[in-house]
Amino acid sequence: MKIDTEVRHVTKPGANLFLELGFPPAEAKRLHAASKKQISDTKQLKEQLMDELAAWIEQHQLKQADAAEILMVSRSRVSDVMNRRTSKFTIDTLVEMLSRIGKPVRLAIGR
């Protein structure tokens, strides 16, 4: 059996995917705005966690290889943290890394 893998349509970057999926315009606009906000909030949270990790590494004047050993990750992962490559990490992974250096993360929900 052959699996159909032909690409028939590509959504342009920044386009409203919800509109293309057939949602009514008002609902598509609302969903698009909500998804952009969620993506932004997640990226901001990851950046905060990475800032803490990077500050700890700098404070202790660690080489990336040494930090990687302590954090139990590869040196390239430490480089990704230092360069704030948020797309390469889940929030869970960053929280685990902070826990390994004695910086437990507390969650505050609100505003």
Q: Give residue limits of the domains in the chain.
A: 19-100
So what's the pLDDT on residue 42?
95
Distance separating alpha carbons of residues 101 and 19, to the nearest angstrom: 45
Task: For 22-69, write each residue's pLDDT tens digit.
Answer: 999 999 999 999 999 999 999 999 999 999 999 999 999 999 999 999
| Mean pLDDT score, 1-26 | 89
Distance separating alpha carbons of residues 60 and 58, to the nearest angstrom: 5
Mark out the alpha helices in 7-90 (DSSP H runs). Answer: 17-20, 25-59, 64-71, 75-82
So what's the pLDDT on residue 11?
84
Task: For 75-84, write each residue's pLDDT tens digit.
Answer: 999 999 999 9
So what's the pLDDT on residue 37?
95
Per-residue confidence band for 9, with pLDDT thresholds at 50, 70 and 90: confident
DSSP H/E element including 96: helix 91-100
Which CATH number applies to 19-100: 1.10.760.10, 1.20.1290.10, 1.10.260.40, 1.10.1040.50? Answer: 1.10.260.40
Q: Return the structure tokens found at 70.
A: 């302590």
CA distance readout (Å), 72 to 24, 26, 97, 98: 48, 47, 8, 11
> What is the DSSP code (8-state) at residue 19?
H
Per-residue confidence band for 107, with pLDDT thresholds at 50, 70 and 90: confident
